Amino acid sequence: MNNPHKKNAKLVLSNGITFPAFSFGASGTTVGEIVFNTGMTGYQEVITDPSYYGQILTFTYPEIGNTGINHEDSESSITVKGIIVRNYSSNNSNWRSVKSFNQWLIEQNIIGLYGIDTRALVKILRSNGSMNGLITSEDKDIKSCLKIISDTPKMEGLNLSKEVSTKKNYSWINTTKTDFDIRKKKSNEVKKLKIIAVDFGIKQSILNRLVSHGCEILVLPYTYSFEDILAKKPDGIFFSNGPGDPSTVLEGINLAKLLIDYGKIPMFGICLGHQIFGLALGGYTYKLPFGHRGLNHPCGKNNKIEITSQNHGFAIDADSLPKDIVKITHFNLNDNTVAGLEVNNKPIFSVQYHPEAGPGPHDSDYLFNKFVSLMLERC
């Protein structure tokens, strides 16, 4: 490909395997957990998903960047540590595009590699599990690269929510200008419901979906106290997605436990929020070999299947959940891991996947209706 930005670069994995490559985007060196996403669309949303904080993301789809970057699709100001693609498009064409993919990566200081056999890389990650690695456009020898990698902590034991959670309260106002999403049309006559969103690394598309269902949202850091949340008299409480090891987010787990024990306010958790609920209910979490990251993961139970968007590296141990307190509502049908739960006799539920579909299929959008219905029943 005729590309003025290409430079000699490389990917080095913690097991010593090295992939020569070309660089694009920002120059330099970055280190993180190497993971892969199998989605075919939505690269802007994926790269700005806070749940990828601390990770270097590999796209399995071979051509990335052809639709450029727009003002509407970013999920946050937080980005991945770096990206790896088979090929990227130096030309972009889309009616919403305001800049090229390469230009945006430079502005965001995201290092990218292309020209790598991403199929071979993904086979290594599937066989050996996700691992730390380093990408660099600098002249570094393998020994020094491996030293940097060995000095970088693994994902287990890392509380990354503290790095991405909001530091102060804020009210969310839907700023998305897109008018072609048919899901957004809701009556203005619906009662405005007061939602507290507990932020572990929340995506803007989740907030937008809640707004579209008639909710007024106050976003709080996960360190907020149980008493202060009750004092705000919310109609519902939402626990967000986020990065890192859920078992390390002790303040969030304790907050969830107190709220679940109280049990009078509807609660909805997504992704890390779902894992936090599981831990608060007495369960355990564990790290998956290479995680679930993509837009086509089947989940369900009792002959009903939803195709879901997912991004997580940890899961709840099904056998650890107290069956007299909680019911498993969904399983990931690829590996039978827990994908959804409900607390018995309380208006509290969660899912491991992303019903807001930013990006992804809309099969699970009904879960927002379920959350709203639980709140309206108690108003």
User: Of 232, 233, 193, 196, whose CA–CA distance to 213 is shortest?
Assistant: 193
Q: How far is CA 41 from the centre of its chain?
A: 15
Do residues 135 and 30 touch, judged by C-beta distance below 8 A? yes
Residues 249 and 247: their CA atoms lie apart, in Å, by: 6
Euclidean distance between CA atoms 256 and 167, whole angstroms: 19
CA distance 209 to 205: 6
Radius of gyration over alpha carbons of the chain, in Å?
21
Q: Which residues pair with 25 in a beta bridge?
A: 111
**Active-site choice (145, 215, 271, 299):** 271
Q: Look at residues 340, 344, 358 and name the one whose alpha carbon lies nearest to residue 295.
A: 358
Question: Would residue 356 show up in a list of annotated catalytic residues for this protein?
Answer: yes
Q: Is 215 a catalytic residue?
A: no
Phi, psi for 189 (deg, rounded to 5): -85, -10
Q: Is 216 a catalytic residue?
A: no
Encoded tokens for 154: 């693994």
Pick the catalytic residue from 45, 75, 306, 356. 356
| CA distances for 290 relative to 48, 129, 279, 297, 298, angstroms | 20, 5, 21, 14, 17
Active-site position among 213, 312, 330, 354 = 354
Helix crossing, 272-280 with 250-262: angle to 10°? 70
Task: Determine the 3-state secondary structure of 341 from DSSP.
Answer: strand
| Burial environment of residue 128 by CB neighbours within 10 A (0 to 12, 13 to 18, 19 or more) | middle
The two tokens of residue 252 are: 């969030």
Task: Measure the CA–CA gap between 118 and 112, rounded to whole angstroms.
Answer: 13
Peptide bond into 246 cis (omega under 30): no
Residues acting as catalytic residues: 271, 354, 356
